[in-house]
Amino acid sequence: MNAEDSGSTQPSRRNGPLHGTRILAISQFGAGPFATQNLVDLGAEVIKIEDPLTSGDVARFVPPVSEKGDSLYFQAFNRGKKSIAIDFRSDQGLSVFHKLVKISDAVFNNLRGDLPAKLGLTYEDLRHLNLGIVTCSLSGFGRTGPRADEPGYDAIMQGLAGYMSITGEPEAPPAKSGVSIIDFAGGYAAALGLVAALVDAKSTGIGRDVDVSLLDTAVAMLTYLGSWQMNSDWEPSRSPDSAHQTLVPAQNFQTSDGWIVIFCAKEHFWQSLAELIGMPLLISDERFATFADRHKNREVLLPILSERLGEKSSEEWLNLFRGKVPSAPVNTIKQALEDEQVRARGLVVNVEHPSNGMIRLITSSILTEGANESVTPGPALGEHTDQILSELLGFDETEINVLRDQGAIG
């Protein structure tokens, strides 16, 4: 099996840019673990702190493929991490956590917004242990405001932030994205905030709190839609065939055997499209001369394009358009993961799982030398408890057994 087939790459001689950075992660499900998965792929050591009394991260039990406290969902977000099982309700367990804080660079959580302060996970709570510690919180609504004590999830944010009002067909009910885009964008935002704080702590020796919320991330990503809404009389709405709000043509088109997406974001792309479909007269037609003209007369233009594009197969059109008109097939997930560009970029890696054999997982989208080399599976609950206590904190076997008898660790 060659590197392209396996999705693997030759190991770098350099470490990832976050090598030597230790992050304690009190997080579960999707958004938080996605944030720290990206940090692992950039070279950080992430120690996942799990509650032994609740069987750890709830992601371990998410279907469709789940058994014995592990799942493919969990594996997707926790590759290359270590797991220590600590009961924070125990004074002895809390003491173990505090010892880890002293030798770590950051503490990350994705708890409800009011919980970091209640559980002693803020910078103010931990600075006496480590002045340079960075504490990052990724929550549904943030640590302040009237909804800080409420749980929040991706779908809730897509509804609240207006995403569902512009997603789907005009006559259909409001729809959410098929991918948890707010969860994952929030994960990226939290990872960026944490790394920025680490850079500052490295130069000043003083850490800080980083407060990121899913709602804030969702609203921030409204960008130009929000600008148009607040500063003009334009009203966003759902567009047929997943069309862009103002650019034409920039949408899905049905071919003779499927669907393709075309995105003419520059005038020369529009001109190339008209020529390649054999309708060059559209270029000189005053009704379609500019972005504004094509938007104004889209009810005339789009049926013309749709009829023409329906005459050939997706493959035929895409072969003509490649490199000249931004375009792509409307793939299934299976087709997307088999795409030649995805394979060439090494975005899928093989991971040897202790009970499931070889499984395939997706790496971080950030490609740099020394990154994306963590190919060990997501850990079993508490798998590294003894190793962390002995190698990092200097506990001997007797002391570890006492902690376990006390219920401080799993």
Is 187 exposed, middle or buried, given 0-12, 13-18 or 19+ CB atoms closer than 10 A?
Answer: buried
Collapse the DSSP code of 143 into the 3-class scheme (helix H, G, I; strand E, B; otherwise coil) and give the result: coil
For residue 68, the Cα-to-chain-centroid distance in whole angstroms is 26
Q: What is the DSSP letter of 287?
A: G
Cα(23)–Cα(152) distance, integer angstroms: 24
Verify whether residue 91 is a known catalytic residue. Answer: no
Active site residue: 87, 183, 209, 216, which one? 183
Instruction: To the nearest 10°, report the CA torsion of 383, 387, 390, 391.
Output: -150
Task: Give the DSSP H or E segment for 190.
Answer: helix 181-204
Q: Residue 47: left if φ>0, alpha if ψ -120 to 50, beta else—which one?
A: beta
Q: In what order do the strands lie in the sheet with 259-263?
A: 250-254, 259-263, 327-329
User: How many Cβ atoms sit within 10 Å of the Cβ of residue 40?
Assistant: 28
Cα(83)–Cα(55) distance, integer angstroms: 12
What residues are annotated to the active site?
A: 183
